[in-house]
């Protein structure tokens, strides 16, 4: 049977955002369909099957907040739930609301072109099929385009090699094998810690170390889950009030008002607390005051020295080029202890860079490392990458990738001038990348749905962010960015990725809003309450 070729709304992507977005649209009675490039739903949690992949947000703050039934029926088994369980959760939600019938899998959107006369988008799928939609909602994710290094000989290796994002579904044999891991971001740190005692030999190829602190995971008993269930409203209210979308509240006693002993006593406590407490509940000065940041970074360096028995290895694992919390903090479980094992070897690429990948391993400037498996934990073309993978042509044929060549430009991360009727959930310059993802995502979906309701009630057929409103928002994004020490870091937050042409260190792309979740939510709410003066309706 021929599929219907015209819809009021097309949603792209069946990850955490898309699942909730299609639910809201179906609930409203909108004629909507979701296209997902993969063969099933789950997005991040469908793809990242590497050993050790798990939440680093508390599970009960990561799950959706919108359904009492889901709260009543779902039992989070660990404080930081692992990938297979997270994927089960997303399927559980989708099944509960019968959402899969609104989703089409293996349906990659390759291009979309705005038709000004008809006020519709023409979408082209990889199959060649074309579909029309009045509105398109991008739920394509912020970390959905993995990037591989551009070393010579990338195709020469005769063993197994893959990016962590593409970790196979079938079990990957590890026992007795010589495994190389390239990359020590949040992903590399999870993989390394998890497989160190399961492989024959593990060689870690580290270009720059990251600050990393204990996840402090634990099981959640039936009794604890009952207590969490009883507290869900309070949990989500706390998340909505905190800058990062967690239950952790920043410490505003004043870094310099306390003695060094008092600060250290507090840090000792934070080091034992679960998750991002050490980041989010720390003294606020750490993120803007260099001296405060240095003192705390030194404290964490001391922790690393305590945990790594070889002092030379410990020094290599301590970042020297950036302070704590100025790049995305990876959380770990026995990561540093992995380097105390005889079968784990650390290769410092800052002194002995990779020259090429060979048939049998990795050649650095001073040694050849024989390997059976290479794991590339080398990150993503973050935040704007997914948009570059679809040719999006707006008014007058302008391509979005061209508009955003030197960095994105949006109004509140949800609309971008010149691309009418394209709405973005977790878009560039929102807080979706800079705070607890799903909390920001739910807020964005609700807001986008509210805007669509407004449009439908008024009978409009075209919406576009005003250029002036967009300029003001970009200025605000830059101001927020410049206020914190993160402005000098080289992580994906600032758009750095050596594997993508033109993304050199020091060339900042203002991709995420760092003005805090509550401030961002207030901007969204105010725009809606005022009748969206920043949007032109026709």
Contact predicate 416/400, CB 8 Å = yes
* Token output for 246: 């967690």
- Contact between 135 and ligand NAP by CB under 6 A: the answer reads no
Instruction: Kindly give, in sequence order, each residue whose CB lies less than 8 Å from that of residue 519, ignoring residues fewer than 6 positions away.
Output: none
Stretch that binds ligand NAP, among 50-58, 229-237, 440-448, 455-463 (CB under 6 A): 50-58
What is the β-pairing status of strands 373-376 and 160-163?
Answer: parallel
Q: How far is the CB of 144 from ligand NAP (least distance, A)?
A: 10
Distance CA 204, CA 207 (A): 10
Pick one of 184, 217, 326, 432: the residue that binds ligand NAP (CB under 6 A): 184
Pick one of 21, 61, 81, 187: the residue that binds ligand NAP (CB under 6 A): 187
Q: How far is the CB of 178 from ligand NAP (least distance, A)?
A: 18
- Contact between 377 and ligand NAP by CB under 6 A: the answer reads yes
- Contact between 143 and ligand NAP by CB under 6 A: the answer reads yes
Q: How many CA atoms lie within 13 A of 176 on its CB side?
A: 1
Pick one of 14, 45, 56, 314: the residue that binds ligand NAP (CB under 6 A): 56
Distance CA 482, CA 496 (A): 16
Residue nearest to ligand NAP (CB): 185
Q: How far is the CB of 509 from ligand NAP (least distance, A)?
A: 14
Show contacts with ligand NAP in window 379-398 (CB under 6 A): 379-380
Pick one of 13, 82, 188, 413: the residue that binds ligand NAP (CB under 6 A): 188
Cβ-based burial of 115 (10 A; exposed 0-12, middle 13-18, buried ≥19): exposed
Q: How far is the CB of 356 from ligand NAP (least distance, A)?
A: 12
Contact predicate 7/31, CB 8 Å = yes
Q: Which helix (H) or strand (E) holds 373?
A: strand 373-376
Angle between helices 517-529 and 437-458 (to 10 degrees): 10
**Measured from the CB atom, is 105 or 166 closer to ligand NAP?**
166
What is the β-pairing status of strands 130-138 and 120-125?
Answer: antiparallel
Contact predicate 381/147, CB 8 Å = yes
Count residues near ligand NAP (CB under 6 A): 24
Contact predicate 391/399, CB 8 Å = yes
- Contact between 498 and ligand NAP by CB under 6 A: the answer reads yes
The CB density around residue 214, as the number of other CB atoms within 10 Å, is 19
Show contacts with ligand NAP in window 196-225 (CB under 6 A): 207-208
**Measured from the CB atom, is 190 or 384 closer to ligand NAP?**
190
Stretch that binds ligand NAP, among 173-181, 182-190, 415-423, 522-530 (CB under 6 A): 182-190
**Measured from the CB atom, is 187 or 326 closer to ligand NAP?**
187
* Token output for 45: 């949690």
**Measured from the CB atom, is 460 or 488 closer to ligand NAP?**
488
* Token output for 284: 């606020």
Using CB under 6 A, list all residues that contact ligand NAP: 54-56, 143, 149, 182-188, 190, 207-208, 328, 349, 377-380, 492, 498-499
């Amino acid at each position: 049977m021929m599929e219907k070729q015209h819809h009021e709304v097309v949603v792209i992507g069946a990850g955490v955002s898309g699942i909730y977005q299609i639910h809201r649209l179906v609930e409203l009675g909108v004629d909507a369909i979701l296209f997902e490039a993969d063969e099933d739903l789950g997005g991040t949690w469908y793809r990242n099957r590497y050993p050790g992949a798990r939440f680093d947000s508390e599970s009960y703050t990561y799950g959706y907040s919108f359904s009492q039934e889901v709260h009543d029926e779902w039992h989070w088994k660990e404080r930081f739930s692992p990938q297979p369980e997270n994927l089960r959760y997303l399927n559980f939600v989708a099944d509960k609301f019968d959402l899969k019938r609104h989703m089409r899998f293996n349906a990659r959107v390759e291009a979309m072109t705005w038709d000004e006369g008809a006020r519709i988008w023409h979408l082209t799928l990889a199959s060649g099929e074309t579909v029309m939609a009045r509105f398109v909602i991008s739920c394509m994710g912020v970390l959905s385009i993995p990037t591989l290094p551009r070393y010579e000989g990338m195709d020469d290796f005769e063993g197994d090699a893959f990016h962590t994002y593409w970790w196979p579904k079938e079990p990957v044999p590890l026992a007795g094998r010589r495994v190389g891991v390239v990359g020590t971001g949040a992903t590399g740190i999870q993989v390394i810690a998890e497989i160190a005692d399961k492989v024959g030999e593990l060689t870690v190829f580290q270009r720059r170390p990251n600050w990393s602190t204990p996840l402090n995971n634990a099981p959640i008993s039936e009794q604890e889950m009952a207590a969490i269930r009883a507290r869900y409203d309070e949990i989500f209210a706390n998340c909505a009030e905190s800058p990062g979308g967690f239950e952790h509240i920043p410490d505003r006693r004043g870094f310099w008002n306390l003695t060094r002993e008092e600060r250290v006593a507090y840090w000792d406590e934070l080091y034992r607390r679960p998750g991002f407490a050490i980041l989010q509940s720390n003294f606020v000065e750490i993120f803007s005051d260099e001296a405060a940041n240095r003192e705390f970074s030194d404290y964490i360096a001391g922790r690393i020295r305590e945990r790594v028995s070889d002092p030379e290895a410990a020094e290599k694992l301590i970042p020297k080029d950036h302070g704590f919390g100025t790049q995305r903090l990876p959380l770990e479980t026995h990561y540093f202890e992995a380097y105390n094992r005889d079968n784990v070897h650390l290769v410092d690429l800052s002194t002995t860079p990779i020259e090429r990948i060979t048939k049998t391993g990795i050649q650095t400037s001073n040694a050849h490392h024989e390997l059976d498996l290479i794991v590339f934990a080398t990150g993503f073309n973050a935040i704007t990458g997914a948009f570059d993978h679809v040719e999006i042509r707006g008014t007058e044929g302008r391509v979005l990738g061209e508009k955003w060549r030197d960095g994105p430009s949006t109004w509140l991360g949800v609309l971008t001038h010149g691309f009418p009727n394209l709405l973005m959930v977790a878009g560039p310059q929102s807080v979706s990348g800079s705070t607890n993802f799903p909390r920001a995502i739910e807020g964005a979906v609700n807001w986008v749905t509210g805007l669509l309701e407004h449009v439908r009630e008024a009978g409009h057929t075209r919406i576009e962010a005003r250029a002036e409103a967009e300029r003001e928002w970009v200025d605000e994004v830059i101001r927020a960015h410049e206020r914190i020490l993160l402005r000098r870091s080289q992580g994906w937050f600032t758009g750095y990725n050596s594997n993508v042409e033109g993304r050199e260190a020091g060339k900042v792309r203002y991709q995420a809003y760092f003005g805090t979740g509550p401030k961002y939510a207030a901007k969204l709410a105010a725009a809606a309450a005022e009748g969206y003066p920043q949007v032109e309706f026709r």
